[in-house]
Amino acid sequence: MKRNVIQIDEDKCDGCGLCIPNCPEGAIQIIEGKARLVSDLFCDGLGACIGHCPQEAITIEEREAEPYDERRVMENIVKSGPGTIRAHLHHLKEHNQTEYLHQAIQFLREKGITMPLINVEGAQTQGEHPPGCPGMKIMDFRDQAPESQETQAISAKSELRQWPVQLQLVSPNAPYFQDADLVIAADCVPFAYSNFHNGFLKGKALIILCPKLDKVPDQYVEKLTEIFKNNIKSVTVAHMEVPCCFGITRLVQEALKRAGRNITVKDYTISIKGALV
Residue 142 banded pLDDT, cuts 50, 70, 90: low
What pLDDT was estimated at residue 37?
85
Span of 54-58, 73-77, 157-161, 166-170 with lowest mean pLDDT: 73-77
What pTM did the predictor assign?
0.56
Q: Is the pLDDT of residue 54 over 90?
A: no
pLDDT in tens, 56-81: 899 888 887 665 678 877 887 787 67
The structural domain count of the chain equals 2
129/142 same-domain check: no
Q: Is the pLDDT of residue 261 over 60?
A: yes
| Arithmetic mean of pLDDT, 165-176 | 93
176/253 same-domain check: yes
Residue 122 banded pLDDT, cuts 50, 70, 90: very low
Cβ partners under 8 Å of residue 46, min gap 6 = 4
52/159 same-domain check: no
43/151 same-domain check: no
Q: Is the pLDDT of residue 180 over 80?
A: yes
What range does the domain containing 89 cover?
Answer: 2-133
| Arithmetic mean of pLDDT, 129-142 | 56
| Separation CA 26–CA 20 (nearest Å) | 7
What pLDDT was estimated at residue 67?
59
30/123 same-domain check: yes
**Domain containing 35 — which CATH number?**
3.30.70.20
25/35 same-domain check: yes
User: Of the candidates 133, 167, 198, which is a domain's last residue?
Assistant: 133
| Separation CA 185–CA 188 (nearest Å) | 8
Q: How many C-alpha atoms does 224 have within 13 Å on its Cβ side?
A: 30
Q: Is the pLDDT of residue 237 over 80?
A: yes
149/126 same-domain check: no
84/157 same-domain check: no
Bond preceding residue 67 cis, omega within 30 of 0: yes
User: Of the candidates 66, 100, 133, which is a domain's last residue?
Assistant: 133
What pLDDT was estimated at residue 211?
79
88/216 same-domain check: no
26/122 same-domain check: yes
Q: Diameter of the chain by CA atoms?
A: 66
User: Of the candidates 133, 165, 198, which is a domain's last residue?
Assistant: 133
164/208 same-domain check: yes
